[in-house]
Copies of this chain bind each other. A is one copy, B any other.
């Protein structure tokens, strides 16, 4: 069990787009070259971000992608859900109702949620909460504090400035 590569790609791509400002839209090819990624596959992930409302796409010639809203209004959870979908980490298939045990227990035994499901859901809620509490602006600020020289290099890499 591990998250898709698309999450990492999407996070870095969103941060790059933020550094470039709200001018011309940026093409998939440029965004892919920035980190040496597969342009076609990155495009697939960006479409998911568009569908989730994190990006706006401009079709046609001189088209591309730009942020749909500022980084302050995007959480890490938004990115994960956009790429991975909002299905739960742990899926309860209600095996408690099946087999020699399930058949032997009265229906009333299953009125409440499965205790295993509840325990797993509690942990997943903590994960989501921690993701939701971190905006992409926070991530960008942390990155900039670590390496102040990088933002200017990013703009150079995209031919801006």
Copy tally for this chain in the complex stands at 2
Q: Is A118 a contact partner of B104 (Cβ separation < 8 A)?
A: no
Q: C-beta contact mask, A71-89 vs B, less than 8 Å → 1, else 0?
A: 0000010000000100111
Can you name 30 A-B pairs with beta carbons within 8 Å? A1-B4, A1-B89, A2-B89, A2-B90, A8-B92, A8-B93, A8-B95, A9-B95, A12-B95, A12-B96, A15-B116, A32-B99, A34-B100, A35-B98, A36-B95, A36-B99, A36-B102, A76-B123, A101-B153, A101-B157, A105-B149, A105-B150, A108-B147, A109-B149, A111-B147, A119-B134, A119-B142, A122-B130, A123-B134, A126-B130
- Cα A93 to Cα B7 with chains together (Å): 11
Given A109-B146, A112-B146, 15 other A-B contacts at CB below 8 A? A1-B1, A1-B2, A2-B91, A3-B120, A8-B91, A8-B116, A37-B99, A101-B150, A101-B157, A115-B146, A116-B143, A118-B142, A123-B128, A123-B131, A127-B130
A129 in the interface (beta carbon within 8 A)? yes
Given contacts A4-B1, A157-B100, contact A124 B127 (CB under 8 A): yes
Q: C-beta contact mask, A43-56 vs B, less than 8 Å → 1, else 0?
A: 00000000000000
A106 in the interface (beta carbon within 8 A)? yes
Query: CB within 8 Å of B: which residues of A?
Result: 1-5, 7-9, 11-12, 15-16, 32-37, 76, 84, 87-93, 95-96, 98-102, 104-106, 108-112, 114-116, 118-120, 122-131, 134, 138-140, 142-143, 146-147, 149-150, 153-154, 156-158
